[in-house]
Structure 1
Amino acid sequence: MAGNSFGQLFRITTFGESHGTAIGVILDGCPAGLTIDLDFIQSELDKRKPGQSKITTQRKESDTVQILSGIFEGKSTGTPIAMLIPNEDQRSKDYGHNVDVYRPSHADYVYDAKYGIRDHRGGGRSSARETAARVAAGAIAKLFLKHQGIDIFAHVTAVGKINAPNLESNDISELLELREANIVRCADPATANEMIEFIDSVRKDGDTVGGKISCVVKGCPAGLGEPVFDKLHADLGKAMLSINAVHGFEYGSGFDGTELRGSEHNDIPLPKAKEEQQFKTISNHAGGILGGISNGMDITFKVGFKPVATIMHNQQTINAAGEAAEIKGKGRHDPCVVPRAVVIVEAMAALVLADHVLRNRAVKL
């Protein structure tokens, strides 16, 4: 495997580069008969596309998806679904200054070290533009999960040192409305305004800043996940850490849980009525996962993103010969990646869960 595919039964393979003709994805394993809502797929891509606000890159891409196969009369056929997203606004000349110079904290050097060749135009395959293909496939995963009663919601909960309070509502539709009402995609309006002002000031300084995205999965049944190497939280962690600029993943109580005693951290189960399918717990420090398998409670996790590596300041670096050099960022770049990454986090979570739903159908009579 060359690291371009993800999933076992609900499986994707992405292709393309940032400054190539197009990017795309082949989704194999989607069950036949699923109604494919093209408008929904496009709406998901619109949340990730560049040029959508003053706090994102000003590259202009419509990210209009073309479905090439696997769908007939609005339904999946059970055969591979191929989707193509043309690149429309490449400015390869913006990267002429780093043909032989490595950008600090980018993948330039390691691609050279691994392959002996690299596409210097926006990072080529290492560019976050590749994630548009994941969002397209993730949208289909979300449509599949809807049939299972599973919903996924993520939003920005931190930018730099600005942190949003815990959500007061459990209504997904209400939270989506609050999140999409602002350009930073934080479901707390007051915090969102503070975040937007801060990101804009960082942008004007020619600098960048990181942030955090929190995600909750509602309606997930007990029993998803494998007991040893394919634990549900392990697959979620791999999915999130595969996203560009992600430097951290924690689920449930995460690192804060290390400060608690067992008597404080244990989630005490409540007696369930006969008609209930699964039990609930008083607290949810486990984040909805026990022993690598979902327990029916909300699955909760957080994802930490580093500051975007390209800044509009002179920086010391080296060239391909190992000699000292200087470089300054050019082109169009995000001052903070998290507003556009919310839908990517949801997409990767959806792909993991869709895969495990299908895998779980074969484990017992």
Structure 2
Amino acid sequence: MSSEEKSVPTLRPRPVVDRLPRYAAGKPAAPVPGLEAFKLASNENPLAPLPEVLTAIAEQVAINRYPDSVATKLREKLGEYLGVPADDIVTGAGSLGGLVQILSAFAGQNDDGKPDEVIYAWRSFEAYPICVQTTGAASVAVPVLADGRHDLDGMIAAITDQTKVIILCTPNNPTGPSLTKAEVEGFLARVPAHILVVLDEAYTEFVRDPEAVDGIQLYRSYPNLVVLRTFSKAHGLANLRVGYSVSQPHITESLRIVATPFAVSTLAQDAAVVSLENIDKVLARVEELVQERNRVVAGLKKQGWDFPESQGNFVWLPLGERSQEFAQAAEKQALSVRAFGVEGVRVSIGEVEANSRFLSIAKDFVQ
């Protein structure tokens, strides 16, 4: 038999791969003659990193060397800023990298073939079901309430003997509301101590609700709590992929075992450190974006929109069946927004001109 006649084996991935939802990243706006294009689809910070950070990036020349795999300098700086022991911090490739570490260590398929269960609100961050199912665990998605908030009672009711992890996203992406300290403490009091609770606070710097939870204030009191944060949003370092989790040592020791070696580059670590050294400037720019968010929210309400409270750097329009129509209308005006099926549209707070153009489009879609 010739080599041409030999059968070629079909390579197939694990069965779970075919069942995974596909992550749909926000796309840049298509060019429109006469209009500057703006991307409002990815919850990015529209401002470049601080000049001091860009200088630190430009000065990094040791690209031929591996980074410090445990990001000692960054963890020490974070420890100073947050007022926590550096050993309670584990870095990862963005907060998503930190979540993958958590799920890899605490949820998956057991030796008897039965999957663990991971509970999260839905709709929430669309990477959750992908990360959960990739580990071999089973997703338990609890629908958010009509106001876009987590159904905490529903999440408690969803707990079974197979539940290993619960994810709380605050502010919730894409709907916008944040959880209060009282809500989270009441929730934790009802969760069995052997279940890990993940508080995903990727947008925490944008929160202005005085009652909102601050995971760093809580984690010392709850041995089963992990807090996730990132430099992607407020610090404008999304492209460098640097995030971290904060939890007690009995958790961090497991996270370090499963962490991808060298996931956070030296360049990313240096940039994050310099950004923290200039945190007042970072937070001043965040406040500018919050004021823009307030302007957008006020403009939408004046138009008659009814939508969830926004505590992130985005707003959620519950457009239902008109979601794709809105995205297409925005595209015609050189704006890219993020439509989620027939549920709604998430629009990031961007440049002033982009936000004003968004408001102009929105007035024709008030329901």
TM-score normalised to structure 2 length = 0.24
Larger % of strand: which?
1
TM-score normalised to structure 1 length = 0.25
Larger % of helix: which?
2
